[in-house]
Structure 1
């Protein structure tokens, strides 16, 4: 009886609006991030200029492409982001983004950020989440009507992933350096002291604790 109730709960209908909003927001953030990466010259400085890379254990076979190839990879990621934003060829776009982003992440572990790992996890989940069944080019292209709802478990899947990441990130920060010494913010914030209005506050010791 409990299993049946759980199944009923997981498959109960919820508004699809949160999935659509998440799809668009995720696509926009990734598009902006990839564009910034290219604009700042980080593609060259991180994946073309170095003569030596430090691959992850078990992924020593992952190598950077020649310069043209790396820029092509980032260009394809931008195209995949656009597909995610507009819900155009959504499944292909999510698969392409997941594979390319994860490939770039695995080239060199010195460029690792926990946010990058999180993005790989979320983009993998989005392959299976039908966030393109409303407000999408795919619906126009395939002459489908927009769905107004979706099974609850798709929303719970994303919520669970975010909860796990931020819960354990919070636990990891429960240490002396973070709570008492306000590290690493004491080191990071002064680098933004040139910002208009908020810049002068970045050098204040007390700001690091907030």
Structure 2
């Protein structure tokens, strides 16, 4: 095990990835400002749908979130240049994770993946060559890295892609129902909009998606198929970038392929001026037993989190319980309607809640998800409690899954002010589909 993890290998892939990674996370932060994402998601909303239990994480007042993301962009450039590398990447990790937990109106599995990659970059010696840190402190300079760096990335990306493939093995994906719904939202695209409405495109997306996610890591590892798989990856990720406009993540995925190519090749193509490390010395750190324990826990969590929904009652596509952090990416479409009413127990008067006074149009979609219902109910409950007004809260919420007939997600006669949230098992106040008919 020590030989597998701590054998020293050439660090050219890590140095190249650090440069690409730093640039991409800087673009992610500054792009969030330029595209209006920060304004729409963190500045304009009056109420924040954060991860339950992280209510203390709230956006900075006024235009503070612009400064927040501006600082993250600067830290990304520092990571790229290898300037104050360790403190810069740790700071970016803390800031990005806080934003992730702060809001889930714009939830994306890729945001979670970036947290994992940031933690990885906090651990690795990515600043020991071709960096300002190494220039200022020559004792840092090194042309090698431990082999676990490569194994970590390969293992992590195999988990991501494999679970993404397995999650697609359900009827509405296999028969092209959801890909068709997904492409209908792209019909207005110039040049390719009409093409994306073709049935053969929907079925190609369905099965190419399954096969790509399942095979990309094995075929990048196999010498005979590596180059072909790389160019297939370029096509796949550029398609996703153009059609789905998901930010830096297609390019981050392509950047990660440097760990799958021979180190000699990456050295020759990108860092020819750097000496190549050709020895195979084993350097076991003093904390090796603890690090092995960390790796064991890390990958156990990564393997278990995506399957937790199998241990929770109900269909994850409907209840959303166990959906997040499980690589269930772009798999279902939800529409519907939601209205809330509050009964004043002092006066007996019942009033409809004016949702526009609380939520942005995009935030209203959170009311079609159980945790969003719970959080908005708690918001209303707290608001009336501060006025010392006892209330009961009811909602009529009908949800359509993949364009099916809408069904009730919660019982309209249930007083939602009494509900609680359980992270680890089914919340019985959520109606299962058979119960909502």
How far the C-alpha of 1:146 sits from its partner, in A, is 3.7
1:141 alignment partner in structure 2: 136
1:207 alignment partner in structure 2: 201
Cα displacement string for residues 90-137 of structure 1 (whole angstroms, at most 9, x for unaligned residues): 101111110111111111122211000110111012111111111111
CA contact (8 A) 1:192 1:202 kept: yes
Alignment of 1:33-44 (within 5 A): 33-44=28-39
Cα displacement string for residues 164-206 of structure 1 (whole angstroms, at most 9, x for unaligned residues): 222212111111122212524642465264335x444233332
How far the C-alpha of 1:88 sits from its partner, in A, is 1.0
2:210 alignment partner in structure 1: none
2:105 to 103, 110, 133: 110
Query: Aligned in 2, Cα 1:107/1:184: closer, same or farther, shift over 3 Å?
Result: farther
Cα displacement string for residues 22-70 of structure 1 (whole angstroms, at most 9, x for unaligned residues): 2122222222222221111111111010111112122111111113321
Distance 2:177 2:78 in 1: 41
Secondary structure in structure 1 of the residue aligned to 2:145 = strand
The structure that is helix-richer by fraction is 1
The answer to whether the aligner puts 1:67 opposite 2:62 as a matched pair is: yes
Query: Aligned in 2, Cα 1:79/1:9: closer, same or farther, shift over 3 Å?
Result: same
Query: Aligned in 2, Cα 1:141/1:199: closer, same or farther, shift over 3 Å?
Result: farther
Alignment of 1:34-183 (within 5 A): 34-144=29-139, 146-181=141-176, 183=178
CA contact (8 A) 2:49 2:105 kept: yes
Unmatched 5+ stretches in structure 1: 1-5
The structure that is strand-richer by fraction is 2
1:12 to 7, 10, 14: 7
Secondary structure in structure 2 of the residue aligned to 1:88 = coil
CA contact (8 A) 1:11 1:152 kept: yes
Secondary structure in structure 2 of the residue aligned to 1:58 = coil
Query: Aligned in 2, Cα 1:108/1:154: closer, same or farther, shift over 3 Å?
Result: same
Greater RCO between the two (CA within 8 Å, min separation 6)?
1
Q: Scaled by the length of structure 2, what TM-score is found?
A: 0.44
Q: Scaled by the length of structure 1, what TM-score is found?
A: 0.88
CA contact (8 A) 2:133 2:140 kept: no
Secondary structure in structure 2 of the residue aligned to 1:44 = helix
Secondary structure in structure 2 of the residue aligned to 1:135 = coil
